[in-house]
Structure 1
Amino acid sequence: MTPEQSAARGGAGARTRERIVDAAARVMERDGLVRATTKEIAREAGCSEAALYKYFRDKTDIFVHVLTERLPRLAGLLRALPERAGTATVEEHLVETVRTALRFYRRSVPMAASLYAQPKLLAAHRDQLRGSGDGPQKPAEWLAGYLRTEQRLGRIDPSADPEAAAALLIGSAYQRAFLSSFLTDPAEPEAPADLGGLGEAGDAEYARKIVRTLLDGLTGSSA
């Protein structure tokens, strides 16, 4: 095989993998994780089920890659946030974080909710996340790390609790996304988009308000 043929095969394989992840994201958002079978993902991707296992260990592995590659990059943002400490303002960084968390949870909560109806699948998913060092607890941990960095720089009150502050911000974003998903009726696509103020249209203002309220407790003034 020539280098050109080898490169072409690698390129084709990468494209197939991308197509599978895209298809899995569509199916999981539409049907939930439990009903998103590998057969349905393969059908959506236009390939055989066997092709899926050339790139992924199982459906849980596909789900993890959908979360990390196809949803708003919450993990990437939070991991990089400590390096941005001392730049711009704490408020700007936190507003960006809350808005990204809202986008992430709006898409991931409906996907993952059906896990709780399948204890074995939930256990397998939990074990896989433990093995990779990831999990739903990580966003709050990463955000707390950023807040501790800002605290060392003197931009956050030394008596403030970074872990509690991170839990409040990430938890509020998760709750808003959950309520929005719960109140959305798929059978009524023409229902009011604001969902009583919980729709995406209100996310920017919500992020500003929740961060401003928290910062008043963290710093007593704009940071």
Structure 2
Amino acid sequence: MPTGVAIRDAREQLFDAAERILLRDGPSALTSRAVTTEAGCAKGVLHRHFTDFDAFLAELILDRIAVVERQSAALCEAAGTSTVTANLTTAVTTLFGGSIAASIVALITFRDDLRTRLRETRPTPGIPLLTEATTMLASYLTAERDLGRITPGADITTLAPTLIGAAHLLFADRSGAPPEAAAVQRTVTTVLADAVRIPDRP
């Protein structure tokens, strides 16, 4: 490479650099030059792996969607353990608090061409990543309903997106302090108030 450092896994290093910029400076600061500078590599490295910058961003989002899908499998496996409220509090905190999800949603909203490209790749309704996160919670709630810990008449198709929307709002302020665990748990408890069978015990 003419400048920068050798990269063992260029794609992942570029993805990680983009995440750091998103978290630190927001979507308006995310440019190809900013990403390669953050990654410590030559600008040509990005264009060697991706046809253009929107293609890079689309791949970044698809990669992070795959992470959500893996989290979904783990959450469904947790059905019947701990409590429904505790499992969902952990799930939404992992999704929005310790990850890039909220910043990814802001990026998708910020870039029209990126939304168009993502719709061509994943022709599913809704906002990419939030759609998969909603599916994750719906699958888990369905599993818990089958186990009898969620009421038979619970409207899971409404509960899942409501919980995702409420949790996203809690974590959406990039400049502020993250919400306390008690606030997240209170939100989950409120959304599920009429759906979780009492007592909600391990």
Do these two structures clear the TM 0.5 threshold for a shared fold by scoring above it? yes
| Residue deviations 1:190-219 (CA, integer Å, cap 9, x gap) | xxxxx6xxx32x430012212223343113
Q: Is the 8 A contact 1:25 1:70 kept in 2?
A: no
AA of the residue aligned to 1:123: T
Which runs of 5 or more residues in structure 2 are unaligned? 1-5
Q: Are the aligned partners of 1:22 and 1:70 in contact in 2 as well (CA < 8 Å)?
A: no
Give the deviation of 1:103 after TM superposition.
1.0
Matching residue of 1:98: 92
Select 1:218's aligned residue among 189, 195, 200.
Answer: 195
Report whether the alignment pairs 1:206 with 2:199: no
More deviation, 91-100/149-158: 91-100
Q: Does 1:124 align with 2:133?
A: no
- Residue 188 (structure 1) aligns with: none
Calculate the TM-score normalised by the size of structure 1. 0.69
Residue matched to 2:102: 109
* Structure 1 residue corresponding to 2:136, chosen from 136, 142, 150: 142
**CA deviation digits over 1:45-102, x for unaligned, max 9?**
222222113333433343355456679x544322332222222222221111121233
Q: 1:218 to 1:177 in 2, by over 3 A?
A: same
Q: How many Å separate the matches in 1 of 2:121 and 2:44?
A: 21
Change (3 A) 1:61 1:80: farther
Aligned residue runs from structure 1 range 1-223, under 5 A: 14-64=8-58, 66-67=60-61, 74-103=68-97, 107-110=100-103, 112-113=105-106, 115-130=108-123, 135-178=129-172, 180-181=173-174, 184=175, 199-200=177-178, 202-223=179-200
Q: 1:40 to 1:84 in 2, by over 3 A?
A: same
- Structure 1 unaligned runs (5+)? 1-11, 185-194
Paired letter, 2:92:
V
AA partner of residue 154 (structure 1): G
Q: Give the Cα–Cα distance (whole angstroms) in 2 for the partners of residues 205 and 56 of structure 1.
A: 42
Offset at 1:19?
2.5
Shift of 1:36: 1.8
Q: Is the 8 A contact 1:101 1:173 kept in 2?
A: no
Q: CA deviation at 1:114?
A: 5.3
CA distance in 1, matches of 2:44, 2:123: 27
* More helix per residue: 1
Percent sequence identity is: 28
Cα distance, 1:122–1:211 mapped onto 2, change above 3 Å: closer
CA contact (8 A) 1:60 1:125 kept: no
Aligned length: 191
Contact in 2 for aligned 1:91/1:212 (Cα 8 Å): yes
State the distance in 2 between where 1:70 and 1:23 align: 14
2:3 alignment partner in structure 1:
none
Amino acid at match of 1:127: E
Query: Which structure's CA Rg is the greater one?
Result: 1
Query: Alpha carbons of 1:203 and 1:76: their partners in 2 closer, same or farther (altered >3 Å)?
Result: farther
Distance 1:159 1:80 in 2: 25
